[in-house]
Amino acid sequence: MPMWKAVGGQKAEPGEPVWVGNDPSERFPVYTRGNAGEVYPEVFTPLSFSVAAEAGERAMRKAMLASGLVRPNELAGLASTTAVGSGVFGGYAYLNLSIQRTMSARMPGGKAADADTNLLGVGDPPPHVPIDGEKNWRASLAGARYVWKLLNTKKLPELAKDQQKVGAYLARLPPVNGSNTDLRQATGDDFIDFFEYLFERHLRVSFAAGITIAVLSNLCENNFDDPGLAVRLLAGLGDVDSAAPSVAMWDLSRAVNENPAVGAQFDAGIAGLMHRLGQTEEAEGFLDSFSAFLAEFGSRGPNEWDNAFDTWETDPELALVLIDRMRGTDESHNPRVQGNRLAADRVELEAETLAKVPRFQRSVFAKAVRSAQLYSQGRERTKTTVVRAIHGSRLRAMELDRRLYEQAGGNRGDMWFLVGDELDAYLEDPGSFRRTIKERRVVHQKLSERIPPFFFTDHQPPLDEWELRSNQLPGVVVGETITGLPGCLGVARGRARIVTNAGDPQGLEPGDILVAPLTDPSWTPLFVAADGVVVDVGAVMSHAVIVSRELGIPCVVSATNATRRIPDGALIEVDGSAGTVTVLEL
């Protein structure tokens, strides 16, 4: 049963906002938006929370136990509403940093700070306070066996099997034009159970990616005093699902450029573009190609893990605007060309590096490189698999929502302001929930207007202590450098284009530098259109780093508050090797 909580505390005072959320853990008390914010950047709606939260926590616990780094007795007796792995507080998703640090500290040769490096990048996290029993020989021994197994893994055939399972799941879903009762099942137990299964797979592969990257980084640091070498050894891997839409969109952008009639419709603006293209005889071939694109990638979009939000299929203009941003780029931005160049550079770097590794370590180093590459690709594959299943639920939930809000005289999205236990009554009489939905929309808006604390310990601060998004920060000055983390090598100079919504690129043009708060796969095509990328938050496992490595775009992550301090149009230099952003001209 979803838990309604006072935002920032356990007990609601009169007039204090109340929202669905988890209980914090006393044993593992430090939480962070790092990494979680990329998956769920917006405020959770009650329905999304009631569908995903407890299933997600169960999956997280299973994945942690599978590593052996967390012992069963450490989780025994904890309520399912306690956020041991991840949770929702004040409407926003958080990752439990304490338990991630504990797992890292138990790794052979590992340290708690490895979790910060993988998940957070730079920043000022709360200090790690070792829990009682953090040094656990059983966990460390199990962890050693776990790492050795990961280092010797050469294939992940289970990922292809999961893709087949998703295909079968989507095939057995009721048609979108089915009855209300049938569509109601799109958010029912069958979906929740399947989501839990797929999410556990994603977490297992994600943990493996984090561990193997940490092993590789430590080997690079110990042998070459260069932990950044690990990032370069993971560039240009190919077959990375989150980069695949960019290649397809590139082809579509070239098709637009080669067809004057289609190009003229794009020039007239994105609003209403699909309708205009449908009235243009010469656009038939483009529309066929675009339909094929949506069939393959239509599940992607901003906030794609949450079925309350539109994707490229439910709102094609979200994809068309990205194709439009690519139209003016030249062949040097072709993701295929970049990928081939990066792959060749990586292969050469691997050979040079292995030749320099001491002979007695060479085998382990080679295993670390191979497994880090394998699990990095696998992590993106499992994301795509989960998102496809969620999209099947989304299409049916959105249709059910449309029928019910029209019947009640409400608004699009009303259904997501209810929890799962209220849906059956809502189907019977949607009008009876109008007041409830209105009240919850008000609270949702209050939460959306503020920036949740990036870290907290024990309890989230009260809402009135959160910073308003509208607050102005001191601007940068010419010559100032914002230091973050290297994402992808290279140096780029260009005008900063501050983009806070992938569906509204704010005039991003070729030669510009994309400056974003955070990114998910729906941002990827904008990387192709830009000469460089700067992201407020992120670390070695963040989406921006993974995709920039595939596309060869100079990238800096963890450039704290870059979107709020760098003015749109400023001339900046991005040094992806040093992890710096320098202001050249305002």
pLDDT of 493 reads 95
pLDDT at 423 over 60: yes
CA 287/CA 406 separation, integer angstroms: 30
pLDDT tens column, 499-535? 988 888 878 888 899 999 888 778 888 888 899 999 9
pLDDT of 155 reads 95
CA 570/CA 154 separation, integer angstroms: 46
| Closest among 290, 285, 365, 355 to 320, alpha carbons compared | 290
Q: How far from the centroid of its chain's Cα atoms is residue 573's Cα?
A: 26
With beta carbons less than 8 A apart as the criterion, state whether 252 and 290 touch: yes
pLDDT at 466 over 90: yes
CA 390/CA 310 separation, integer angstroms: 12
Degrees to nearest 5, angle at CA 321 with 318 and 322: 90
Count of alpha carbons within 13 angstroms of residue 568, beta-carbon side: 10
Name the percent of the chain lying above pLDDT 90. Answer: 64
pLDDT at 338 over 90: no
pLDDT tens column, 229-248? 888 898 888 888 888 899 99
By CB atoms closer than 10 A (0-12, 13-18, 19+), residue 334 is middle
The whole-number average pLDDT for the span 81-108 is 92
First to last CA, the chain: 53
* Bridge-based pairing state of the strands 86-89 and 92-96: antiparallel
pLDDT of 533 reads 94
pLDDT at 49 over 60: yes
Query: Dihedral (C-alpha) 565, 321, 343, 379: value to the nearest 10 degrees?
Result: 80
The H or E element that residue 189 is part of is helix 189-224
CATH topology of domain 481-585: Glucose Oxidase; domain 1 (3.50.30)
> What are the beta bridge partners of residue 481?
582
pLDDT of 13 reads 61
pLDDT at 430 over 70: yes
Query: Which residue in the block uniquely carries the two structure tokens 């290279």?
Result: 490
Length of the chain: 586
CA 376/CA 234 separation, integer angstroms: 8
CA 352/CA 338 separation, integer angstroms: 21
With beta carbons less than 8 A apart as the criterion, state whether 568 and 513 touch: no
pLDDT of 14 reads 62
Buried b (16+ CB within 10 A) or exposed e, 449-478: ebebbbbbbeebeebeebeeeeeeeeebee
**What does the block give as tokens for 478?**
């010419």
Q: What is the CA radius of gyration of the chain?
A: 24
Domain span(s) for CATH 3.50.30.10 in the chain: 481-585
pLDDT of 122 reads 60
CA 496/CA 531 separation, integer angstroms: 10
Phi/psi class of residue 136: alpha, beta or left (left: φ > 0; alpha: ψ in -120 to 50)?
Answer: beta
Name the percent of the chain lying above pLDDT 70. Answer: 98
Q: Largest Cα–Cα distance in the chain? A: 73
The whole-number average pLDDT for the span 424-441 is 95
